[in-house]
Chains A and B, each alone.
Chain A
Amino acid sequence: MELDVQTWLKIAAFSGGGLAIGFGAIGAAIGEGHTAAKANHAISRNPEMAGDVFKSMLVGQAVAESAAIFSLVIALILLFSEFSATSFIMVWAVFSAGLCTGLGAIGSGIGAGYPAGAACEGMVRQPEMSNRLTTNMLIGSAVCQTPSVFALVVSFILIYTDYSTKPMWPMWAAVLGAGLSAGLSAIGAGIGSGLVAQSSCEGISRQPKATAIATNSMLLGQAITQTTAIYGLLISFILLFKNYPASDAIAPAMALLGAGLCMGIGGIGPGIGEGITAQSAVTWIVRNRESAGEITRTMLVGMAVSESTGIYSMVIALILLFVV
């Protein structure tokens, strides 16, 4: 049985679309469940605040949902677009696009649930800080979404690039690697940024006077937590836009797939680890503002060391791309 490009394209688009929304639903569901649990806890402490808590729960959940909506959009595009391609690379590109948004939505969904939960509990503790808490929650969970936006951008590039002049070997591995790199590396950064935003919301509700420093140190911590997702985006752009000589050998293709996998998986650990560091640092900067400088310094040093394995992964990925 010989299948033509169009048939393979349909097979890849349908399985990619299924994986996109399948993976993409994991994170948002966990994150929103966490928020709802915290909101229930908060309402049980002070039932009179039920209306406010409910509103803030819904706002927080809506933000956490956005990553899953990205996945839904990509899944629908894959299901209902009429792709016409002459190159078999497109078959891998649509599959990779589905994987990329799906995997990329996991971290952002889980992460955005944390600050929303902390904001619900916080407004029961300090009702007069409700507005400030909501603002801080929105800033924090918006930053959590950036890695999933990176994954979405890579998916769109994958779907709408013209591959007709590219060699099948090794380009198919480059498109698969690009999707895995941006998608997997978004998991750690999303979860990590959520942890930071959670402690910032908690800090504002416990120490209303420390609001400014809580938001500032949250943004600093989140920015560093995002770096591994940015490395993942960088590697996937290099994979997509580099010109490869056509080759019949398997090794060059596996080098490109290896580079994508290396940066993608390698970005997960540092993202989560740096998030844990910044979470604790924000908590203690708020409690002990006199020592903010010292804690920030140690946080930055600790995050830099935690980042090192992410940088090793990037180095190996770059060697795989440019040296071997």
Chain B
Amino acid sequence: MAIEGVDLIKAAAFLGAGLAMGLGAIGPGIGEGMAAAKACEAIGRNPKEAGLLTRTMLVGQAVSESTGIYSLVVALLLLFVV
């Protein structure tokens, strides 16, 4: 089996895309879970502020999500652009 440069580059891009998204999902998954855990705790302590707390949780999670989205973008770039 002859190894061609183009084939090898594509293989690396595919493997890289999988690793990028897989590893990139760990941090946001755990981080957003912690944010939501604290929001549940806060609503338990002060149910009147449920709306405000949920809003704050979502904003915080959105920021925490950003690195996951970077991973997704890089994975898609590796798959379709590079």
B44 — nearest CB in chain A belongs to which residue?
A284
| A274 interface residue (CB < 8 Å to B) | yes
Interface residue tally for chain A (C-beta within 8 Å) = 62
A residues within 8 A CB of B18? Answer: 257-262, 316-317, 320
In the complex, how many residue pairs between chain A and chain B have their CB atoms under 8 Å apart? 207
**Alpha-carbon distance A258/B32, docked complex (angstroms):** 25
B residues within 8 A CB of A267? Answer: 25
| A103 interface residue (CB < 8 Å to B) | no
Report whether over half of chain A's contact residues are helix, strand or loop; otherwise say mixed: helix
B68, A312: Cβ atoms closer than 8 Å: yes
B11, A254: Cβ atoms closer than 8 Å: yes
A residues within 8 A CB of B71? Answer: 309, 312
Q: Mark A262-297, 1 if CB is under 8 A from B, else 0.
A: 111111111111111101110111011011001101
| A308 interface residue (CB < 8 Å to B) | yes
**Alpha-carbon distance A283/B27, docked complex (angstroms):** 24
Rounded to whole Å, the gap between the CB of A232 and the closest CB of chain B is 11
B residues within 8 A CB of A303? Answer: 33, 36
Rounded to whole Å, the gap between the CB of A276 and the closest CB of chain B is 4
Would you list which residues of chain B between 47 and 82 have a CB under 8 Å from chain A? 47, 50, 53-54, 57-58, 61-62, 65, 68-69, 71-72, 75-76, 79-80
Known contacts A288-B44, A308-B68; is-contact A298 B33 (Cβ 8 Å): no
B7, A306: Cβ atoms closer than 8 Å: no
**Alpha-carbon distance A268/B41, docked complex (angstroms):** 24
A residues within 8 A CB of B61? Answer: 302, 305-306
Known contacts A251-B10, A265-B19; is-contact A324 B40 (Cβ 8 Å): no
Rounded to whole Å, the gap between the CB of A256 and the closest CB of chain B is 9
**Alpha-carbon distance A251/B17, docked complex (angstroms):** 12
A313, B25: Cβ atoms closer than 8 Å: yes
Our pick among A254, A262, A306, A307 for the contact of B12 (Cβ within 8 Å) is: A254
| A248 interface residue (CB < 8 Å to B) | yes
Rounded to whole Å, the gap between the CB of A70 and the closest CB of chain B is 24
**Alpha-carbon distance A48/B24, docked complex (angstroms):** 50
User: Beyond A270-B25, A277-B33, A302-B36: 4 further Cβ-contacts under 8 Å?
Assistant: A291-B47, A299-B36, A306-B36, A312-B72
9 cross-chain pairs, A with B, having the tightest CB-CB distances, nearest first: A302-B36, A273-B33, A269-B29, A284-B44, A258-B18, A265-B22, A262-B18, A280-B37, A269-B26
10 CB contacts below 8 A, A to B, read: A188-B29, A258-B18, A260-B18, A272-B33, A279-B37, A285-B44, A299-B40, A301-B57, A306-B33, A317-B18
Residues of B that sit less than 8 Å from A by CB: 1-4, 7-8, 10-12, 14-19, 21-41, 43-45, 47, 50, 53-54, 57-58, 61-62, 65, 68-69, 71-72, 75-76, 79-80
